[in-house]
Amino acid sequence: MKILVCITHVPDTTSKIQFTENNTQFDKNGVQFIIGPYDDYALARAVELKEQLGASLTVMNVGESDSDPTLRKALAIGADDAIRVNAFPKDSLFVANQIAHIAKSNGYELILMGRESIDFNGGMVHGMVGELLGMPSISPVMKLEVEGDTVKMSREIEGGKEYVEAKLPLIAGCQEPIAEWKIPNMRGIMSARTKPFSVVEPVVEEGNSRVISYELPPAKAGVKLVDKDNVEELVRLLKNEAKVL
């Protein structure tokens, strides 16, 4: 079986977020980039499946050359080869088009990715790729087993759990607890250097959105503590100050 895991190259969760160019560009200065945490779960599960099923495992990213270390880390964790589509990931549709193109040309049967990236948190790419390829796309997937050509998945829904079965090929947007994050071992890191790594040009597809400007959320206001017996005061504050009632 051929597995593809799509990896985002995103700022570390503790990064200080700043913007430049009149609030139209994210300021990468001093920011550490990591494998998207949800993609990391997808990758961890894929590594397990690879061992269990003897599958091949490719990782891909749509990004510029600064994502190379992130892809090499995915190789260190256990992927066999990596593909980078050499383009700035303009928006979800643009990225989905690139993934669909790569997936179609190489015939991957199981395409895993995070339920969403943690930079823009769009959570749309898996659905779009499904649409573009005419494959089922399920998200968020918290458990995933492959039996023959059937994939058994489960996910949490409002008030319960949903069990889903589908035939390969399919796309899944993953999240914990599908697998535990893997720390690459030293041998994996050393072998990453020699694994196939290809850089391909994007299929020319424009995105369908454009960033006008970024804005930081307002700083958190202080907390007010209200005595538990003083419900009236609480209501007054919620009405007059917070203006939520």
Partner 1 sequence: METIKKSINGGEFLIKETAAEDIFIFEEFSEEQKMMAQACQDFVDTEITPRIEEIDSMKNPDLVPQIFKKAGELGLLGISVPEVFGGMGMSFNTSMLIADIIGAAGSFSTTYGAHTGIGTLPILYYGTEDQKNKYLPKLATGQWAACYCLTEPDAGSDANSGKTKATLSADGKHYVLNGQKMWISNAGFADLFIVFAKIEDDKNLTAFIVEKSFGGITMNEEEKKMGIKGSSTRQVFFNDCQVPVENMLSDRQNGFKIAVNILNIGRVKLGAGVLGGVRTVTSLAIKYSTERKQFGVSINTFGAIKAKLAEMAIRTFATEALCYRAGQDIEDRINSLIAEGMQDSEAKLKGVEQFAIECAIAKVHGSEVLDYVVDQGVQVYGGMGYSADAPMERAYRDARISRIYEGTNEINRMLMVGMLLKRAMKGEVNIFEPAMAVSKELTSVPSFESLDTSTLFAAEKDVLNKLKKVFLMVGGKAAMSLQDRIEDEQEVMMNLADVMIEIYAAESAILRAEKLVGLRGEESCQQQIAMAKVYLSEAAEKINIAAKEAIASFTSGDEQKVMLMGLKRFTKMDLVDTKSLRRQIADFMIEKGHYPFS
Q: Kindly list the residues in this chain that would bind partner 1 in the complex (CB under 8 A).
A: 16, 30, 69, 72-73, 76, 181, 183-187, 189-190, 192-193
140 neighbors 177 (Cβ within 8 angstroms): no
- Output the smallest distance, CB 183 to partner 1, in A: 5
Nearest approach, Cβ of 186 to partner 1 (angstroms)?
3
Least Å distance, CB 171 to partner 1, is: 28
CB of 75 to partner 1, least distance (A): 10
Number of H helices, E strands in the chain: 6, 14
Of 40 and 116, the one with the shorter C-beta distance to partner 1 is 40
Half-sphere exposure of 231 (CA within 13 A, CB side): 0
CA torsion sign for 60, 11, 26, 92 is: positive
Cβ contacts of residue 124 below 8 Å, gap of 6+?
Answer: 92, 96
Contact 45, 141 (CB under 8 A): no
Structure tokens at 212: 């006008």
Residue closer to partner 1 (CB basis): 186 or 244: 186
Spatial distance between the Cα atoms of 150 and 167, rounded to a whole number of angstroms: 5
Helix crossing, 37-53 with 68-77: angle to 10°? 40
Nearer to partner 1, 76 or 83 (CB): 76
> Quick one: 18 or 154, whose CB is closer to partner 1?
18
Give the span between the Cα atoms of 200 and 87, in whole angstroms: 9
State the nearest-atom distance from the C-beta of 68 to partner 1, in Å.
8
Residue 150: which H helix or E strand, with range? strand 150-157
Tell me the closest approach of the beta carbon of residue 38 to partner 1, in angstroms: 17
CB 72 within 8 A of CB 105: no
Nearer to partner 1, 54 or 222 (CB): 222
Judged by beta carbon, residue 185 or residue 230, the one nearer partner 1 is 185
